[in-house]
Structure formats: structure tokens, C-alpha cells
Structure 1
């Protein structure tokens, strides 16, 4: 009896191993079967807010050594690079108001810690991009402390100053933009009749880029991080606001100059800009900032689910890509499904698990260089205010989670509402394993990473999103059903090889069966 039981157990193991082997072989036969790193043009970047990521010294705040310890998580997920939100000294928790451009915030560690991180990241073929905030400094930066001492101070012209009587008409003018609802931009330092300009808030005075000394300082800061610290590139915050909005040409020309200066230091430097606006405003920045965040992608993706409208996103994306190609063929479309300024993706999708899984399938099967926000891969939750979009990562159940940060009391991403990573790893249907799977599909199929985007011209039910991704000798057909109803659509001739299926979608007899919230990728 015991022998029979052992034999059954042995045969069960053999079956499991054979099944795993079969799946591996099936995956290997998809495309060329080799994992490839397409960064920066089409690779995947993982955004990290260090404050909330992993704490190694038990002070409740995430640190650089914590990121080093968790680099294998980024690698396992399939990302090719990390973008760090600000890491420099600052009086605020978010650190978008810098007081020292050539240092690490002491809560995060030291420059030596960062050098170790760079070494370990590059050892794993992971690139590092840091936030560079040059539109403004902190009002506590030494430059500004000097600047406000008087009109004759050598640092006065590092910032934008004006006498009260010359700007009186603007003092209470309410300016609303896509990235700011600030009531006023001119601020009094507390003494005298002069006011300084700060587009976002008074604690963030704008630098004066008409001053060549300021530009020289900025280029020297870039040199420090590229040469001495070895970073691979910069994410340029508030790139549209280096000069005021009524001087867009000056903005465009500055970024061309900035790119030129950085490429003198590091020819393959990666620059991605935040220009939060419509495509006609964004596109002229491409000669200076070859990668730009595609905010339209984020919002249109969410709208497509809200309206169950499959054509909405694919047509918008095609329109944007064609428009950018009219400016330059050398651009990187930095797509994203969520980031540190928007509500968590799962909240935006009504906390529907199938929608979240399908959203990442759409992101990974569309053209672009996708960005993933930390915690998205475990279904973290969060709504405004911003702190609650940046809550601590859940590595394990709270009792076992020695690295979970405690700098804030989370409201949304708590054990009762979000399953920690350690648990999700053992769940075949978890968000984490779903993310890993679809990222691996993208990284083993050049058509998905590098292919062009062609619309499927046949009449389709409103919720169906369908498009072709073609690259050299690989031709792919991608379909997503963005509704809670099932549909059957005609299958284009010749697309018979299944690359990926989500939600029990299947293709046979010249048609594709698409259950609610399902996706499929087929190869010709």
C-alpha cells in the first residue's frame, strides 16, 4: 500500500515536471523565444519611491540599501531599468524641492551606498535613471538663501525677481494648468518690496535660465551624476516650465542645449521629460528630450475601460505616433498606466482585478517604452492626496515584513485590502505572476516590443480593441475585449500561432472567441 502511494506521488511529480516543461517549450516557441533587453527604445522601466520601498536600518524609511537588496525583484519582474523619484536632500517627504544637488538625502543613505547600488544594478543589466529637478530649487537651498539677501547679492539673478509695482496685476491671478492649480506664482520672501517667481509654490522658487551661470551650474550637476556616480540618465521634472509658458520656443531650445551638453559627457545618455500637455504642445520638445511621457496613453486607457470603447486607445496612440514621426523618427514613447501623481491603476479601474490584468496586457502589447509604478504589480491601492498614492510596499504579511516602511500610516494598501508579494508569488493567478507572464511575452517577441502599429480596419463590436504589430519577419494580431460581454470576431487569414491568451480567449475555425475582459495575441 505504501509503495503504491509512493508510486502515485512519484508519477504525479513526473506529470507536473512534464507540464512545466511543456509550458516552457510553448513559451520558447513564441517569437524567437529569447528574453531580450530593448531598453531604452522599447524596454521597461520600474518607478520607485525609495521612501516607501524597503527599509534596512529600521528607521521606518526606505533607503538605497533596501533597493539594492531588492534588485532581484525588479529583475524577476522583467524590468530593464529603474527610475528613482528624487533622492537628493530636501525638506519635504517627496523631495521635489532640492537643497543640495550633489548629495543623497541622509534618510536614504550615502553617496557610497548609491555607488554600490549602481554596481549591483549594472551587474544585473539594470539601468538607473534619477529624477533631476531643475525648474526650481527649495526655498532653503543655499543659492536662494543668498539670493533673497538683496539686489546686489551675486546669487540674486539665479532666480526671477520683480518689484511689486511691476507685477501687481499678476499677484492674485489664478493660473490653472494640467499640472498645477496654483493660485499665485509670485511670492514675497517676507521683507522688502521685491517678489520672486515660483510656478508651483512659494517653497519652490524657479531658477532663472536666462542667466548663463545657472545653466552652467545645471550642466555641472549633470556631469557629477553621469561621470562620478555613473547614472544612465535623467527624468526631467516639469520640463515645460523651465521658462514661463509664454516662452515655449525658449523651452525647446534650452532642452536641445541641455541634451547636447549631456551627450558631451555621456553620448548614450537617456533623457525622459515630463511635459504634461496635448501632443501638439509635447511634440516640439522631442529634439531636446528624445523620450517623453505619454499622458494621453494613461488617460485614454482608463477612458477606454470606462466607455467599453476598444477603438479609443488604439486610434489615439496611432494618431500620436504618426504625429511624432512628423517631428523626428528618433523618439521614445514613454507609455505608462499609472505613476506617483495619478490614483493607483486598480482604483481607476473600479478595483476590478480582470481590468487591471487586462490593462497591463494592453500596455505590454502596445508600442512604446512602458513604465511601471512600484506596487502596481501586486495591485496596490491609492487615491489622492499624493501621500496615499505613495504608500509602503507590502513585501510580506505585516508580522513577517521586516523591511516594510512605517514613515506613514497607509490608508489603502494594507494587508486586509492588498495581498503582499510573498503570498502572491505562490499564487498562480496573482497580479504579480500575471505581470511577470505578460512582460516575458513582450520580452520574447520583438513584434510586441519593436513592431509598428497598424489598425484592424474590419467592423468590430464597440468594446473590441484590435491591432497589428509587425516587425521584420514577425507579424502579430492583438485583440482585447474591454467589456463584461462575450464576442466572436473574424480571424484575419494566416494568424494561427497562439502567442498569448488571457481570460480563456481562443481562436479556431476562422474566428476568435473573446469572453469578457479577455486578450489574445496571434502570430502569422
Structure 2
């Protein structure tokens, strides 16, 4: 579709809610669906048009709800199906959309399908999961291959009832579904997708959506981690041979019955040319995807949870990751997304900017300018709008809850025999990129437990909640929250440039401190100039060559109005956006 009549989701501002940590109404220390409903006026006022709700399905919670035991029911601490019906209605009554997580690469080992599948090799569900015989070496039983789980350890778990191993790319309580089985696929579509579309939801964020199709020979992976028994095997299960066939089948057999359904896919470890195959409008597979190059910066890709090898990325690496995502639409019929945070990442303020007290609020506004001026569907994560940042470095491992982080820490602990320096290194990595950073409770006000709960929170509240919270920022016209609201409104006002702008170009690629880019209006008559200072120091502006003296209008800056003036240089963590109009462009 053209920019003049786009799909509803292209210009939508989306907000991800992680239910356990969002808002608790019954004092059990866990967020719930009534809590979400109570904050809809706040989200509407912010400018949010679509809510993405992370898994709220019934689950044993071995991986925070990504291990689903029943797609058609709700995890009791979160509420009921009736609560979900009310949430859908309350969103739609406000003109807002609601999308859910679609987790169909795997289920919980407590799901009725798996409980039946594990009983024998001949029952109705026997082939609904990925089962393989043991490899026998010198009379001893071994896993079918050396594949390493994404969370560390073997990707195979032995099941005595069948004398076979089942595949689990994540934790052992998350067995992978066998997408090669047509009956299993039909059951997935009916239970996980149609059940909720029939209730009126508007789409899905699709978890691990390029992992369904595996190399069915399950060969050993090449050795990349020397001295390790189990090896990263992404080459054998990412973007597998039948992925596109199955996504087209899903669209044609199910989604097309429901109109313009948003399907935004999680697509890690994927090159741009391959991404295009998923999101081309003509292919009709996914609406758009999250490209993970930005949020994977500085992490050991394929390292199997080795967070202690995390390093700080450079600004040129950051620019290149942004460029890849922005160029996806260049000369194509594809669409893209804009995000810096989700439930699996450290906070963007700590990872990509600074959480130093003197610069924190200004840096949060700078990142808001960056995100709101990039082309694509905008995704905010809960708490991002108030500048929530990573947990303090002094926190110990006892505060962590994430299975991936705990596995990574315990791996170091075992391997290095409790060596204190190794454990310090492990905690430093987790403090930067660990998933618990995003899962701390939302800081609503300065009361006990940040107004998240009247009970004992399931995970510790950030130490700084009295200074950083929604109530304080709603009362402050200079707050990050007020600035986000302003930027979202500005993005809507200048949608053709900010949401749909083309010809993204970086003008200072190798500069380690400043990020300068331009974008053009689709009609070619207007341009945006964006200058972002990613440092604690005064920086010169890097004007695009030949455009230094161009007449331009300051559209927005993150300096405090009435207190600071836009000057010759960029002050620390300053952002400014200039608009150049048609008459000027024709005149130089």
C-alpha cells in the first residue's frame, strides 16, 4: 500500500506491557490484567495507539510465561479470560488496538499435547514434538547431536517413557513443537491464533518466528566453543527450509479471514536480504519484524548465554545497525520497526546512552528524538517513557529471577570454582544486558514499592524509584515523560517525514561521539536533519557536505525551553532536529 493509505499499524505507536511487572491491583506482588486496564487512560494520553501484551497465558512460569501450558487460558495471578475480554473491549472503546504474544515454536512440558506425546511412540500426539533416538557411543547413551540450547547446556532432554530425547532450543521445560506434522500445525492455528482472533484482538508479536523449521537430519554443529561438549547450532535451525512455506500457509488458511492483522516477527541472527523475504508485502508472510542487530550490540552472538563476554559497543556500530533497519524499505515493498528495548534487553538508557545522574534525563530525551525520527512502526517498552534504567551494580545474584541470567551466572560459578573475580565479571555482564533489567516493576509513584503493589513484589523494585516515577514526571513539564508525549505528537504531525520518510543517510559514520542523519519526505520536497550527541562533552555539528549554510527551521530540541539556547555546538547528550522545506531545497 502507498503511504497515502497505509495499513493501520504502520504509523501506530505501540507500547509493550510485561504483565508481571506492570501494575498489581490485588496485592499479591504480581502485575495483573485489571492493573493494565486501570492505566489505559495514561497510555492514551501518552499517545499510545497499540498495546502489545507479553504472554499472559496459563504457564508454569519456568521462562516467565514463554512456556505455555494452555493457549486458551490465562495465568491465574494475571486474571481470567473474562479480564482479557474486558481489556480487549476497553482498548477498542478508546480507539486503541491490542496484540498478544504468539509463542508457537514450543510449549510448556506441562501442555496437554506434550503430556500425551511423551507417553509413547504410537499415540495420537507422538509426533507433535521433535523426538530422536539416543546416540550410543561405547555402550553409553548420548544426545542425538551436540546442539547447545540458547540458554546453555544440551538442546536435548532424555525421556525415559519413550527412551528418546526431545529437542528444546530454550529451557528443558520448553519442548519444541514439530512443525513438520500437519495435524500439529492445524492445532496450533486453532488454539493459539484463532481462539484469540475470534475474541477481537488485532494481531500478534510472533516469538522466535524464524526457528520453526529445523534441519531434520539434526547433524552435529561445528565446534566454535572449544573445550565445550555442546555447540551453538543456529545454522541448523534459524531461517530453515520450510519457514516461508509455513508462514504463507498461516496467512492464507487463518489470518486472511480476519482482515488486516498485524504480525510483527522476532527475527534474530538474520541478514537484510533474508529479512526481506519475510516482510515483503507481496510475500504476505509477516507485516514487519524486529531486527535484533541494534539490541545485540556488544553481546556474544551465539555464545550460549556467556554474558561475561559482553563489551561496550562503539557508536559507529550502533549507526550501522540502525542503517541496516532503515535501508530495509529502500526500493522495496517492505516495512520496518523502531525499537531499542523489550523484555529481553537491558534498558536503552544504560546500554546506548548514559544513566549518570547529571545527564540521565537529557539522554532519555535524546533517545526519544532518535526513535521518533526513524522510519517504521514505533515500539516503546514499559517504563522507557520515564527513563527507567538498569539495576545498580551493587545488586547481588540473589536479586535476579531470569532463568537465562541465572544459568549464565551458575555456568561461570561452576566452571571457575567460585572464583570471585570471575563471578564479578559475570555480574558486570548481567548488569549491562541481563533480562531482569527490563523486568523490574514499573515505577508509578514515590510510595512503597513504587506504587506497583501493596504487597511484596515478585522482584526487587529499583532503588531509584522515588526520583524516577510516573507521578513525579506527570507533574513536571520538563520531564522525559512530558518530552516523550511531545515527540509522539510531533511524529504524528509530521508522519510523512518521521514515520514514512525515505533516503535515510548517515553523515558522520566514523564519529565516535555524534550521530548525524538525514531523511527525505516521500515527495522529495522536505528533509529532516537530525543531530545527536552521544557524549558527556561539547561536540561540533557535522553538517552534510555543502549544506552548512542552508536555511532551516528548528523543529525540536531536548534543551530545556526558556533555560537553554540552541548554540553553535552540541552540548552533552543534546538532540536537535531541523526541517528544510521545498523552496530551500530547490534553491541551493
Q: TM-score range by the shorter chain?
A: 0.7 to 0.9
Instruction: Give me the whole-angstrom Cα distance separating, in 1, the residues matched to 2:296 and 2:175.
Output: 30
What's the TM-score, normalizing by structure 1? 0.82
Instruction: Write out per-residue CA displacement over residues 363-383 of structure 1, whole angstroms, 9 at most, x where no aligned residue.
Output: 111112121110112222335
Aligned partners of 1:393 and 1:405 also within 8 Å: no
Give 1:496's aligned residue.
552
Name the stretch that deviates more: 266-275 or 417-426: 417-426
Whether 1:152 and 2:108 are equivalent positions in the alignment is no
Give 1:341's aligned residue.
344
Give 2:66's aligned residue.
96
Deviation at 1:331, TM superposition (A): 2.7
Deviation at 1:39, TM superposition (A): 4.8
Aligned partners of 1:454 and 1:467 also within 8 Å: yes
Aligned partners of 1:54 and 1:67 also within 8 Å: yes
Aligned partners of 1:46 and 1:79 also within 8 Å: yes
Instruction: Write out per-residue CA displacement over residues 10-50 of structure 1, whole angstroms, 9 at most, x where no aligned residue.
Output: xxxxxxxxxxxxxxxxxxxxxxxxxx998511322111011
Aligned partners of 1:397 and 1:415 also within 8 Å: no
Instruction: Give me the whole-angstrom Cα distance separating, in 2, the residues matched to 1:425 and 1:474.
Output: 34
Give 2:327's aligned residue.
322
Secondary structure of the structure 1 residue equivalent to 2:100: strand
Deviation at 1:119, TM superposition (A): 1.4
Whether 1:351 and 2:351 are equivalent positions in the alignment is no
Instruction: Write out per-residue CA displacement over residues 290-334 of structure 1, whole angstroms, 9 at most, x where no aligned residue.
Output: 2110212335699xx96774x5544443344435656xx333312
Decide whether aligned partners of structure 1 residues 459 and 162 sit closer, same or farther in structure 2, where only a CA change above 3 A counts. closer
Secondary structure of the structure 1 residue equivalent to 2:205: strand
Secondary structure of the structure 1 residue equivalent to 2:104: coil
Deviation at 1:91, TM superposition (A): 0.5
Instruction: Give me the whole-angstrom Cα distance separating, in 1, the residues matched to 2:186 and 2:313.
Output: 49
Q: Which of 24, 34, 57 does residue 65 from structure 1 map onto?
A: 34
* Larger helix share, 1 or 2: 1
Q: Which of 376, 381, 404 does residue 368 from structure 1 map onto?
A: 376
Decide whether aligned partners of structure 1 residues 399 and 175 sit closer, same or farther in structure 2, where only a CA change above 3 A counts. closer
Instruction: Give me the whole-angstrom Cα distance separating, in 1, the residues matched to 2:132 and 2:312.
Output: 47
Aligned partners of 1:506 and 1:514 also within 8 Å: no
Name the stretch that deviates more: 252-261 or 38-47: 38-47
Work out the number of aligned pairs and report it. 477
Aligned partners of 2:450 and 2:465 also within 8 Å: no
Decide whether aligned partners of structure 1 residues 217 and 493 sit closer, same or farther in structure 2, where only a CA change above 3 A counts. farther
CA-based RMSD of the aligned residues comes to 3.0
In the TM superposition, 1:444-483 aligns within 5 A as: 444-446=493-495, 447-455=497-505, 457=507, 462-471=512-521, 472=523, 473-483=525-535
What's the TM-score, normalizing by structure 2? 0.74
Decide whether aligned partners of structure 1 residues 163 and 46 sit closer, same or farther in structure 2, where only a CA change above 3 A counts. same
Structure 2: 5+ residue stretches without partners: 215-234, 300-310, 392-429, 581-588
Aligned partners of 1:226 and 1:266 also within 8 Å: yes
Give 2:211's aligned residue.
241
Aligned partners of 1:347 and 1:381 also within 8 Å: yes
Instruction: Give me the whole-angstrom Cα distance separating, in 2, the residues matched to 1:371 and 1:459.
Output: 25
Give 2:491's aligned residue.
442
Deviation at 1:134, TM superposition (A): 0.5
Q: Which of 268, 272, 276 does residue 264 from structure 2 map onto?
A: 272
Instruction: Write out per-residue CA displacement over residues 463-506 of structure 1, whole angstroms, 9 at most, x where no aligned residue.
Output: 33222222235432221122233234455454422210123786
Instruction: Give me the whole-angstrom Cα distance separating, in 2, the residues matched to 1:474 and 1:161.
Output: 58
Aligned partners of 1:64 and 1:108 also within 8 Å: yes
Instruction: Give me the whole-angstrom Cα distance separating, in 2, the residues matched to 1:192 and 1:77.
Output: 54
Whether 1:297 and 2:294 are equivalent positions in the alignment is yes
Instruction: Write out per-residue CA displacement over residues 126-155 of structure 1, whole angstroms, 9 at most, x where no aligned residue.
Output: 211100110011100111111111112111
Give 1:54's aligned residue.
23
Instruction: Give me the whole-angstrom Cα distance separating, in 1, the residues matched to 2:511 and 2:326.
Output: 25
Secondary structure of the structure 1 residue equivalent to 2:108: coil
Whether 1:173 and 2:146 are equivalent positions in the alignment is yes
Decide whether aligned partners of structure 1 residues 453 and 318 sit closer, same or farther in structure 2, where only a CA change above 3 A counts. farther
Instruction: Give me the whole-angstrom Cα distance separating, in 1, the residues matched to 2:74 and 2:255.
Output: 24
In the TM superposition, 1:102-113 aligns within 5 A as: 102-113=72-83
Give 1:223's aligned residue.
194
Secondary structure of the structure 2 residue equivalent to 1:196: strand
Whether 1:284 and 2:254 are equivalent positions in the alignment is no
Instruction: Give me the whole-angstrom Cα distance separating, in 2, the residues matched to 1:376 and 1:237.
Output: 21
Decide whether aligned partners of structure 1 residues 174 and 160 sit closer, same or farther in structure 2, where only a CA change above 3 A counts. closer
Instruction: Give me the whole-angstrom Cα distance separating, in 2, the residues matched to 1:398 and 1:519.
Output: 33
Aligned partners of 2:449 and 2:461 also within 8 Å: no
Name the stretch that deviates more: 293-302 or 419-428: 293-302
Instruction: Give me the whole-angstrom Cα distance separating, in 2, the residues matched to 1:203 and 1:460.
Output: 45
Give 2:435's aligned residue.
386
Secondary structure of the structure 2 residue equivalent to 1:143: helix
Instruction: Give me the whole-angstrom Cα distance separating, in 1, the residues matched to 2:297 and 2:460.
Output: 27
Aligned partners of 1:452 and 1:470 also within 8 Å: yes
Decide whether aligned partners of structure 1 residues 199 and 166 sit closer, same or farther in structure 2, where only a CA change above 3 A counts. farther
Whether 1:201 and 2:171 are equivalent positions in the alignment is yes
Secondary structure of the structure 2 residue equivalent to 1:120: helix
Deviation at 1:80, TM superposition (A): 1.7
Give 1:5's aligned residue.
none
Secondary structure of the structure 2 residue equivalent to 1:157: coil
Give 1:256's aligned residue.
248
Decide whether aligned partners of structure 1 residues 172 and 161 sit closer, same or farther in structure 2, where only a CA change above 3 A counts. closer
Instruction: Give me the whole-angstrom Cα distance separating, in 2, the residues matched to 1:388 and 1:486.
Output: 30
Decide whether aligned partners of structure 1 residues 394 and 306 sit closer, same or farther in structure 2, where only a CA change above 3 A counts. same
